[in-house]
Amino acid sequence: MPVEWSSSAPDLLLTLDRASGEPLTSQLERQLRDAIRTGRLQIGERLPSSRQLARDLELSRGLVQDCYSQLQAEGYLSTRAGSATRVAAGTATPPAASPPPARPEPLMADFQAGVPDLASFPRGDWLWALREGSRAAPNALFDYGDPRGNQSLREVLAGYLRRVRAAAAEPQHLVICAGYQQGLSLALRTLARGGVTTVACEDPGPINGNAAVAARAGLRLVPVPVDDDGIDVAALAATDARAVILTPAHQWPTGVVLAAARRLQLVDWANRHDATIIEDDYDAEFRYDREPVGSLHGLAADRVLSLGTVSKSLAPTIRLGWMLCPPAMTEALVEEKQIHDRGCPGLDQLALATLISSGRYDRHLRRMRSLYAARRSALAESLARHAPTVRLTGLAAGFHAIAHLPDGVTEAAAITEARRRGVGLYGLTPLTSGGRAVPARLVLGFGNLSERTIKAGIAAVADLLSGPVPPEKATHRLQGPHRT
């Protein structure tokens, strides 16, 4: 497909050697032929006007017109009255065709966790905030700027985090980053430079991902078990870790909340071991039937590095997050950020600051809480109806839940057969250290699925989740999902 340029003449790189002795007309014709034959100029692509090309190459317009006429006579170019000169069909050598990438079969329902409702991204509000923020910005804000991030965004975020997360947030200790992954990488690199050699993380949790980031920073990662009250602080103290990565507001993936007593124990551990707590403030915005839980940063601002993003509240593609740093680490983290990329996109930071300060961000979150609450109910009701032997936990916040499968059901078998039926299911085992055997559990994400799709997907795989089916009921149980 040819490139369609704007109404202005497109640029075209051609070089003429006036000292070569070859006539300029011949050079121009030869270079245009070569550009067309090799595919640098593609079929249907528009060439600069004779006047524009003559001006760019410091030639007479008549010479360029003669060149175009010659190439048209040879079949390389085509012209029409009132239209631009274009590359004629059948002249360029088409590039070798590469096989299209294999596309997976579409799923009727994909219960992938960690994906928000992408269709609900507030496009209108974002475009408004981008225009408004850009319009009001002074010229100096279009320079490279402070590697910490835009001052307005840091001030707005500090106020937001104090108000909503009870964090001890100050703008001078906030650093804007490109999402959670970059924030974690910068934090671990800074800790490694400060002498830390071992970092702990929750088990189950994103162990493989955390291990890869830790290894890049030169750190060893040790998993620490999680129970119904959150991370086991006694087990953490038995390691040589001087840093720990955890999700206290809504543990990923089990969904448990770090208990109040454990929070105090964790802060005490950090003080006694001169350690740093890396708090992933995961799913904190989306809570349903429990009281709000404040940020760990509010308990120990000098020991907690809190990471937050808008990947779940808005969309992953925004690629903006923040590090709320312990004061003693701030300058070192800013230095790491400066070396890494000099700062995140400034216009997007202005837009986010405008979105939050205008109240539209809070309004969006209220709407999404209501939407996810309805989908959570659809999931719970569908399982209660079609697979009552499956126990569901982790539903107090966020947009995923843990389905505890009954005896006789294995993760692998359920996942494989569900995929054959067009339903994406995901097990908990890959999120455990070494993929150790655990009671069969599934991580069911419902953020990017409509209520109708959730109900249809659960109905389609209910018999796979409920355990072995008595022979006299097998026909009925298998037919039901296919009618949905």
- pLDDT score of 155 more than 90: yes
Report the CATH fold assignment for 24-87.
Arc Repressor Mutant, subunit A (1.10.10)
Q: What percent of the chain has pLDDT over 90?
A: 76
Mean pLDDT of 291-312: 92
Chain centroid to Cα 459, Å, comes to 30
pTM recorded for the entire structure: 0.85
**How many whole angstroms separate alpha carbon 188 and alpha carbon 453?**
40
Cα–Cα distance, 62 to 41 (Å, whole number): 23
pLDDT in tens, 78-101: 987 777 899 998 776 666 667 777
Which residues lie below 8 Å from residue 135, measured CB to CB, with a gap of 6+? none
The domain segmentation of the chain, as residue ranges, is 24-87, 121-359, 363-483
Q: What is the CATH number of domain 363-483?
A: 3.90.1150.10
Report pLDDT for 342: 86
pLDDT of 389 > 80? The answer is yes
Residue (of 269, 282, 272, 285) closest to 224 by Cα position: 269
State the greatest distance between any 2 C-alpha atoms of the chain, in Å, as a whole number.
94
Q: Could you report the per-residue pLDDT of 323-347, keeping only the tens digit for each? A: 999 999 999 999 999 998 988 999 9
Q: Are 443 and 428 in contact (CB under 8 A)?
A: yes
**How far is residue 355's CA from residue 358's CA, in Å, rounded to a whole number?**
5
3-state DSSP helix/strand/coil % of the chain, to nearest 5:
45, 15, 40
Predicted local distance difference test score (pLDDT) of residue 471: 45
* CATH 3.30.420.40, applies to 121-359: no
437, two tokens = 């055997």
Whole-number percent of the chain with pLDDT over 70: 92
Q: What is the mean pLDDT of the chain?
A: 90
Q: What is the DSSP code (8-state) at residue 268?
A: H
Residue 361 in this model has a pLDDT that exceeds 50: yes
Give the residue with greater pLDDT, 274 vs 477: 274
Least confident range of 5-9, 348-352, 455-459: 5-9
The residue with greater pLDDT, 220 or 288, is 220
Query: Amino acid letter at 450?
Result: S
- pLDDT tens digit sequence for 310-319: 999 999 999 9
Higher pLDDT, residue 276 or 397: 276
Task: Please tell me the least confidently modeled range out of 76-85, 218-227, 245-254.
Answer: 76-85
Res. 9 pLDDT band, cuts 50 70 90? low
